């Protein structure tokens, strides 16, 4: 197996994803749940974003497209902050911006993520910098 050197951003993104996965696993174990829960339309879904911005103009354009894309999916921004409003207590600095968007369910969150309006916004977000996006089911 050929070993390749990963970029610091890729390592940070991998660390964030591992943290989210382990946190979910720990919550399942703590609640006594031993099998994965089936998707439930009664549980909210969340889209969690971490973005390291390298092109502020592209980021501003992306941000202006997100909120209008949420309405058909009943999505609402729970939190959208810059680094100044975050208190990172563990790990390497990971992003300039972070956001959490709530949807009625995980399936609806995924429908939104794959929608035409948000797909267009994603192309702009990718020009704005490096991002990590996680969709997760709430409790």
| Residue 44 confidence (pLDDT) above 70 | yes
How many CA atoms, within 13 angstroms, populate the side-chain half-sphere of residue 62?
22
Per-residue pLDDT of 60-89, as tens digits, reads: 999 999 999 999 999 999 999 998 898 888
Arithmetic mean of pLDDT, 34-62 = 83
Q: SS3 for 105?
A: coil
Domain boundaries, position 71: 8-137
CATH number for position 133: 3.30.70.100
- Which residues have CB under 8 Å from 66's CB, separation 6+? 77, 101, 118, 121
| Residue 35 domain flag | yes
Question: What pTM does this model have?
Answer: 0.70
| Residue 2 domain flag | no
Residue 46: its pLDDT value, please?
98
In the chain, what percentage of residues exceed pLDDT 90?
60
The continuous run of DSSP H or E covering 127 comes out as helix 116-128
| Residue 54 domain flag | yes
What is 65-98 written as a DSSP string?
A: HHHHHHGGGT-EEEEEEEGGG----SSS---SEE
CA–CA distance, 49 with 79 (Å, rounded to integer): 10
| Residue 3 domain flag | no
Domains: count for the chain? 1
CA–CA distance, 94 with 6 (Å, rounded to integer): 15
């Amino acid at each position: 197996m050929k070993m390749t050197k990963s970029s610091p951003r890729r390592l940070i993104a991998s660390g964030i994803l591992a943290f989210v996965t382990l946190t979910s696993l720990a919550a399942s174990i703590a609640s006594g749940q031993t099998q994965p829960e089936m998707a439930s339309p009664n549980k909210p879904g969340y889209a969690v974003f971490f973005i390291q911005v390298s092109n502020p103009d592209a980021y501003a354009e992306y941000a202006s497209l997100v909120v209008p894309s949420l309405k058909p999916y009943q999505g609402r921004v729970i939190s959208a902050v810059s680094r100044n409003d975050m208190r990172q207590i563990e790990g390497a600095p990971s992003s300039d911006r972070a956001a959490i968007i709530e949807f009625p369910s995980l399936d609806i969150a995924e429908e939104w993520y794959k929608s035409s309006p948000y797909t267009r916004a994603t192309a702009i977000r990718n020009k704005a910098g490096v991002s990590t996006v996680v969709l997760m089911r709430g409790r």
